[in-house]
Structure 1
Amino acid sequence: MSVLFVALPIALVLGGGGVLACVLCIRGGQYDDLDTPAVRMLIDDEEPKKSSR
């Protein structure tokens, strides 16, 4: 029973830290654009400009 007095506060602190980190990531715009990174590899790069010599 005494282990609950140690484990419960630790679990609450870790859970609260996870929720805080998630909220900060959402507010910071981490999850705004989920589609572009998946198709970025399919977009062709611009060809390098040829020098006129």
Structure 2
Amino acid sequence: MNVLIILVPVSLTLAALALIGFIWTLRRDQYDDLEGDAWRILSEDETPKD
């Protein structure tokens, strides 16, 4: 049971860090253009090099 004294705060700290990271990515507009990368992979803008 003594291990819970360590595991509960550690898990709460990790969950708080994950939430802070998620909020940080939302504020940095990381999820604005979800389809852009997929279309950029399919488009061939550059001419092939010989």
The interval holding the TM-score normalised by the smaller chain is 0.7 to 0.9
Query: Given the two structures, how large is their TM-score scaled by the length of structure 1?
Result: 0.78
Q: Over the residues paired in the alignment, what is the CA RMSD in angstroms? A: 1.3
Residue segments in structure 2 that go unaligned for 5+ positions in a row: none
More helix as a share of residues:
2
**Residue in 1 that maps onto 2:26:** 26
Gaps of 5+ in 1: 48-53
TM-score w.r.t. length of structure 2: 0.82
Aligned residues: 47
Pick the structure with greater CA Rg. Answer: 1
Please name the residue that 2:13 is paired with.
13
Task: Give CA-to-partner distance per residue, 1:11-43, whole Å, 9 cap, x none.
Answer: 000010001000000110111100010011222
Identity score, percent: 36
